[in-house]
Amino acid sequence: MIVSVLVFVHWLHATAKSLFLKPNRSLNGVVPMSDLNVKLELIESLKGHTGKVWCAKWNASGTLLASCGEDKTVRLWGTSGGQWKLKTVLQDGHQKTVRDLSWSPCGKFLATASFDGTTAIWDNLGGQFECNAALEGHENEVKSVSWCPSGNLIATCSRDKSVWIWQVENDDYDCAAVLNAHIQDVKKVAWSPEGDVLASASYDETIKMFKEDPNDGEWSNVATLKSHNTTVWSISFDKTGTRLASCADDGTVKIWRQYLPGNPEGVGTVDNDPTWKCVCTLSGYHDGPVYDIAWHPSEDLIVTAACDNGVRLFRMEPESDPNEPSFSLVAANYAAHSQDVNSVKWHPTDPKLFVTAGDDSTVSIWQVT
């Protein structure tokens, strides 16, 4: 009930503010500039992959961009003369689609998750990137991989419904936990910025939080976030790790807020663990599944990648109540790709750049102006 009221209030707010917010084909894929105060400019369109590109991410310093997809390759792109160019093609690491990738915080390692059931670890210790380790154990497709901020843990998840945590020690990878909390295909794993909490999103329509017990080193499910009524495709923490954005198959985006035990708002908690509550739902903006979402590294900006070929940028109203925040669409390109957009990531150091990857075999770099 609370959620639906919030949705309605938000809808009223959004509609009253600007009628252009609704996706409209007649706009020919571009929102008129006069209507939006922010522009999305296509900086680079990188081609080379064949088939779907599932993911593209920058390394921690933002100097290298890695992309992967249906063609089983990983491509590394770098700048030369101010332009992004293909540097290396990494192949033969996987037998099937490479679904997701994650850079180590130090930038020397790259982990790739594949439908072949393995996660490959590539390193450039020998001067160029080579596959020197494979993490095996999942029963079928590995859907996502995430390297924790301190660099000593890797999380993977799979269609086998499990989330695995791997301990990294001197190029050795040991399974530290197998978490079977989800009851369906797990789509995404993401570490909080502090690295002490792991979040996972699933086909079972929930998001789960995991934490390590400092006493016995055991990992356990400490929170289950229920509100989406369809597959949750992706999640992204804000810079503080106290809020989370999620996107789902029905086109909704939700904002979750962490409430610590004894919070002044009076939100109940269990076992001294924080409660995560959905404080905002953005609906009516996306026509179909939203495959990825990224919270800006420093600001309250959220960008989404959708199945309707669109990329949308939302900004939190600075005056809005943190317990009932409202987000407005501030920029959009409804023809960002010519097919589904699968992934979106902000540049780690340049606050104006983000990268998208799509089914149209393209990796695109965008500038927010």
Residue 212 engages other proteins in binding (rule: CB under 8 A): no
Among 49, 57, 138, 143, binds other proteins (CB under 8 A): 143
Residue 277 engages other proteins in binding (rule: CB under 8 A): no
Tell me which amino acid residue 368 is: V
Distance CA 260, CA 240 (A): 14
Q: How far is CA 92 from CA 49, 71, 73, 156, in A?
A: 15, 11, 8, 20
Among 37, 45, 298, 338, binds other proteins (CB under 8 A): 338
CB of 158 to other proteins, least distance (A): 11
Q: Between 234 and 263, how does the x/- string for binding to other proteins read (CB under 8 A)?
A: ---------------x--------------
Residue 52 engages other proteins in binding (rule: CB under 8 A): yes
Placement of tokens 């301190």 in the chain: 150
Residue 204 engages other proteins in binding (rule: CB under 8 A): no
Asked if 68 contacts 77 with a C-beta cutoff of 8 angstroms, the reply is no
Rounded to the nearest angstrom, the gap between the alpha carbon of residue 322 and the centroid of all alpha carbons in its chain is: 22
Residue 359 engages other proteins in binding (rule: CB under 8 A): yes
Placement of tokens 């390759």 in the chain: 73
Residue 188 engages other proteins in binding (rule: CB under 8 A): no
CB of 128 to other proteins, least distance (A): 28
φ, ψ of residue 224 to 5 degrees: the values are: -125, 125
Residue 77 engages other proteins in binding (rule: CB under 8 A): no
Name the one range near other proteins by CB under 8 A: 174-182, 319-327, 334-342, 345-353.
334-342
Rounded to the nearest angstrom, the gap between the alpha carbon of residue 92 and the centroid of all alpha carbons in its chain is: 26
Among 340, 341, 356, 368, binds other proteins (CB under 8 A): 340
Residue 27 engages other proteins in binding (rule: CB under 8 A): no
First to last CA, the chain: 38
Residue 149 engages other proteins in binding (rule: CB under 8 A): no
CB of 272 to other proteins, least distance (A): 36
**Which residue, 120, 130, 77, is CA-closest to 99?**
120
Among 48, 62, 78, 288, binds other proteins (CB under 8 A): 288
Residue 71 engages other proteins in binding (rule: CB under 8 A): no
Find residue 246's DSSP bridge partners. Answer: 235, 254
Question: Which two three-digit tokens encode residue 28?
Answer: 């020919």
Question: Which two three-digit tokens encode residue 254?
Answer: 């939700």
Distance CA 236, CA 331 (A): 19
Asked if 234 contacts 286 with a C-beta cutoff of 8 angstroms, the reply is no
Site residues, other proteins (CB under 8 A): 25, 52, 70, 96-97, 99, 115, 140-141, 143, 159, 185, 187, 203, 230-231, 249, 288-289, 307-308, 338-340, 359-360
